[in-house]
Amino acid sequence: MTQDIKPKSHKGRLALVGSVILVAAVAAVVGGITSRAESEQTLEVWTNAQAVPTVAVVAPEANKGVQDLTLPGTIQAFLTAPIYGRVGGYVKKWNFDIGAKVQKGQELAEIDAPDVDHQLMQAQAALASAVAAEKLSAVTAVRWHALLGYQTVSQQAADEKVTDEQAKQAAVQAAQADVGRLQAQAGFEHLIAPFDGVVTARSTDVGNLVNPGSASGVALFQVSDLHKVRIYVQMPQGFAGVLKPGLEASLALPQYPDKTFEATLVATSNSFSEASRTVMVELQADNPDGKLWPGTYTEVMFHVPADTRMLRVPSTALVFGPHGMQVATLGGDNKVLFKPVKLGPDLGNEAEILAGITLTDRVILSPPEWLSDGDVVQLPDAATAAAMKVADQTTPVPSPK
């Protein structure tokens, strides 16, 4: 009986092992099919999510009573005087270097000009000779006039002596004028500050040759009055209507990032540049502490009166197409709708809209060139949610044990 039972037990175990292998094979096939189906579904969801472009939107803003317009400007001294040599010679000494404060009438430098000095001495000698000749001629004319009364000289001779006296007087006046000219020229040997200010340039040194006149080279000194400064700005044509004396502005300088300076518009050139369609405007600002230096670049923020009926959008929202200037808006169904707009003045980073949109519109920033009416788009939040959903769907499926 024992021999009959063992074969049957062996066959039963074989049948059980075969069943287990068959079940595992079926499970593997079913798992592979299911996994591939889920992968295809995930790919389809991801593709659909990527097919919908993501855009950012902004709401138009209403103008306030005053808007800021920022433009580049250049600071210049209130008064600037380049000092040139008026006589030829050599620099004998200089008394003030750059940055020195000077008062009107102070000597900046002295030029040694021996040629002018000698000419002056010669002219003074000629004047003395002319004065002596004039005195002798005057005495002679008086004597001959007295002799004319005794009829010892002719009237012709007496008139000649009077005429000679007048000629000598004219010679004296000419000699005096020549002396005065040379004295004035000798006075230019001393370079004098024309007003209170600061020496902003010195381009000479002791022993340097000085040639008279501005055509000979650079100025020897430059003196600037910095108690007040002038700021020059090129203003766009669209804002010319608000340019009136007294318009206030603020100055921002790179070297003073935490400080602004106040300025006031005082004049305009009343002429537009044909190349840039801008008008030159001049502002003035007090400079009691001397922080505003000539030649400085500054950003000038004008406080311009604004039309509160206008709306403002970022300049990147504007699209120029076949129908003129437009903006792309996003409807409630997340479909794109292009709207034509009428532009006001360009504010740089922003643009004023006279008509075409309302405060409730959702304006698309930097719309892609291929975007058109009716396209479906999504906002960044929706795109993030879709990406998270795709990530959840791509989580690996546990394999059957």
Model confidence over 134-170: pLDDT tens digits?
Answer: 999 999 888 888 888 877 778 888 888 889 989 999 9
Give the integer Cα–Cα distance in Å for 347 and 313. Answer: 10
Indicate if the pLDDT at residue 388 is higher than 70: no
User: Residues near 244 by Cβ (< 8 Å), separated by ≥ 6?
Assistant: 265
Q: Residue 248's CB: how many other CB atoms inside 10 A?
A: 14
User: Residues near 352 by Cβ (< 8 Å), separated by ≥ 6?
Assistant: 63, 307, 310, 311, 312, 343, 344, 345, 346
What is the structure's pLDDT at 378?
86
Q: How confident is the model at residue 19 (pLDDT cuts 50, 70, 90)?
A: low
CATH topology of domain 57-65+310-391: 2.40.420
- Tell me the CATH number of domain 114-188, given options 1.10.287, 3.30.750, 1.10.3470, 3.30.300: 1.10.287
The mean per-residue pLDDT over the stretch 333-352 comes to 80
What is the structure's pLDDT at 317?
84
Model confidence over 111-140: pLDDT tens digits?
Answer: 999 999 999 999 999 999 999 999 999 998
Q: Domain segments of the chain: what residues?
A: 57-65+310-391, 70-76+224-305, 85-112+189-219, 114-188
400 or 279, greater pLDDT: 279
Q: Quick one: which of 298, 400, 286, 364 has its CA closest to 28? A: 400
Domain boundaries 70-76+224-305, corresponding CATH code: 2.40.30.170
Model confidence over 226-256: pLDDT tens digits?
Answer: 999 999 999 888 778 778 889 899 999 999 9
Model confidence over 69-113: pLDDT tens digits?
Answer: 889 999 999 999 999 998 989 999 999 999 999 999 999 999 999
The mean per-residue pLDDT over the stretch 181-210 comes to 93
Q: Do domains 57-65+310-391 and 114-188 have the same CATH topology?
A: no
396 alpha-carbon distance from chain centroid: 59
- Tell me the CATH number of domain 85-112+189-219, given options 2.40.50.100, 3.30.9.30, 3.50.50.60, 3.40.50.300: 2.40.50.100
